[in-house]
């Protein structure tokens, strides 16, 4: 094999891998690209690639903290309780939520599940005293869990299958000498297609997210065994749908997901219908999805914004703009959705339309 420059970045690694062993699945491509991407540096914020709700305003994490404190109070204030966040980014949501919980004298133990060492460093500054984990497995099995995952499931790798001439095939990534391209692979996937989609037109793409499903099953089992609740907040769809939702964002612009792997944030929409099915299968109650805007308004975010604005008149305009970004249906309010799981005996959380 000719040895040129040492490998530079994932593009070279992928080209070699594909050259040596053939196409890689879209899921493999997305998983490696995001692992590299999140490990590189902190991608969040105005100067980074994208901005998330907790980075828009402290009000977002505060509302989550209020929701969790309300759950804890209604459950009779269990003494041992764990706050668990998946993919905490800079730790901003956790810091804001813990401060809000503290106002109710609720001080849960804090567990952060984070794969990126760069982001763990940032989290150490914003959430001192937390314990870090690679997954739920090492989180204590005693005491209720209050779990939050904001814009986490959308970063997990999606598997895609595509209807080709010969039948359904896994969607894979090749390199044509110039660039990476998604194409239909060789392996038949007909048996993986739900009956209702089997006769879809040529080119139809079906997405699934085995990693997200696996985590949701694990969370449901833990809530059933230990009690507690989980909040999933993400952008996604509530009814099954077809089509690729894979997208890449770099420096706040949408870019081609198959260009410069590892340098852009890859995401796919979250399938909330699947999260509901998993709750059913795992025997935990599930509420939502409801729009992020409605949910935050039901929790009183507008009142909180008014209080903050009165306290800092110079920032009033900024606070109201942030509120609008979080709740307006034409901004994050409708596409972003909130879904909750609750363990046996735990209350229906505020904002889900039930008796709180």
Residue nearest to ligand SAH (CB): 87
CB atoms within 10 A of CB 217: 14
Nearest to ligand SAH of 30, 184 (CB atom): 30
Nearest to ligand SAH of 56, 206 (CB atom): 56
Please state the closest distance from residue 50 (CB atom) to ligand SAH, in A: 8
DSSP secondary structure string for all residues of 121-139: HHHHHHSTT-EEESSGGGS
Please state the closest distance from residue 90 (CB atom) to ligand SAH, in A: 6
What distances in angstroms separate CA 13 from CA 10, 33, 130, 247, one per listed residue? Answer: 5, 11, 35, 21
Please state the closest distance from residue 35 (CB atom) to ligand SAH, in A: 7
Please state the closest distance from residue 215 (CB atom) to ligand SAH, in A: 9
Please state the closest distance from residue 353 (CB atom) to ligand SAH, in A: 25
Residue 247 has φ and ψ, to the nearest 5°, of -145, 160
Classify residue 3 by burial, with Cβ atoms within 10 Å: 0-12, 13-18, 19+.
Answer: exposed
Nearest to ligand SAH of 169, 292 (CB atom): 292
Nearest to ligand SAH of 39, 73 (CB atom): 39
* Number of residues that make up the chain: 356
Q: Can you give the binding site for ligand SAH, defined by CB under 6 A?
A: 34, 38, 44, 52, 54-55, 87-89, 93, 113-116, 119, 150-152, 155-156
Please state the closest distance from residue 330 (CB atom) to ligand SAH, in A: 21
Nearest to ligand SAH of 41, 192 (CB atom): 41
Closest to 16 measured CA to CA, from 3, 26, 28: 3
- How many CA atoms are closer than 13 Å to the CA of 59, on its beta-carbon side? 28
Please state the closest distance from residue 201 (CB atom) to ligand SAH, in A: 33
> Is the CB of residue 292 less than 8 Å from the CB of residue 67?
no
Longest CA span, the chain: 68
Nearest to ligand SAH of 59, 93 (CB atom): 93
Nearest to ligand SAH of 119, 172 (CB atom): 119
Please state the closest distance from residue 18 (CB atom) to ligand SAH, in A: 22
> Is the CB of residue 295 less than 8 Å from the CB of residue 338?
yes
What distances in angstroms separate CA 261 from CA 52, 152, 156, one per listed residue? Answer: 21, 19, 15
Residue 158 has φ and ψ, to the nearest 5°, of -95, 145
Nearest to ligand SAH of 164, 340 (CB atom): 340
CB atoms within 10 A of CB 138: 12
Residue 184 has φ and ψ, to the nearest 5°, of -75, 130
Measured at the alpha carbon of residue 109, what is the angle toward residues 104 and 353, in degrees to the nearest 5?
Answer: 55
């Amino acid at each position: 094999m000719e040895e040129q420059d040492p490998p530079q970045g994932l593009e070279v690694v992928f080209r070699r891998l594909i050259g040596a062993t053939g196409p890689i699945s879209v899921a493999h491509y997305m998983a490696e690209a995001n692992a590299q991407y999140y490990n590189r540096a902190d991608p969040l914020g105005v100067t980074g690639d994208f901005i998330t709700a907790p980075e828009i305003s402290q009000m977002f994490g505060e509302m989550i903290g209020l929701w969790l404190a309300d759950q804890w109070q209604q459950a009779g204030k269990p003494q041992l309780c764990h706050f668990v966040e998946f993919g905490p980014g800079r730790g901003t949501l956790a810091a804001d939520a813990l401060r809000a919980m503290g106002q109710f004298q609720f001080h849960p133990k804090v567990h952060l599940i984070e794969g990126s060492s760069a982001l763990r460093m940032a989290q150490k500054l914003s959430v001192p005293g937390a314990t870090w984990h690679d997954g739920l497995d090492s989180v204590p099995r005693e005491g209720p869990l209050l779990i939050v995952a904001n814009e986490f499931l959308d970063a997990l790798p999606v598997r895609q299958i595509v209807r080709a001439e010969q039948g359904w095939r896994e969607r894979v990534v090749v390199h044509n000498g110039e660039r990476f391209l998604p194409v239909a692979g060789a392996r038949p996937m007909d048996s993986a297609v739900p009956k209702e989609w089997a006769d879809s037109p040529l080119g139809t793409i079906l997405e699934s997210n085995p990693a997200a499903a696996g985590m949701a099953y694990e969370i449901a089992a833990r809530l059933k065994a230990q009690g507690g609740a989980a909040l999933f907040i993400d952008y996604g769809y509530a009814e099954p749908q077809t089509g690729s939702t894979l997208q890449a964002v770099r420096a706040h612009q949408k870019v081609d997901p198959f260009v410069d792997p590892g340098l852009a944030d890859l995401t796919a929409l979250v399938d909330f219908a699947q999260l509901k099915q998993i709750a059913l299968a795992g025997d935990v109650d599930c509420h939502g999805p409801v729009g992020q805007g409605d949910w935050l308004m039901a929790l009183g975010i507008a009142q909180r914004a008014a209080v903050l604005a009165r306290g800092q008149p110079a920032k009033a305009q900024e606070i109201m703009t942030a509120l609008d970004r979080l709740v307006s249906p034409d901004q994050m309010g409708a596409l972003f959705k909130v879904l909750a799981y609750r363990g046996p005996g735990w209350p229906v959380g505020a904002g889900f339309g039930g008796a709180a």
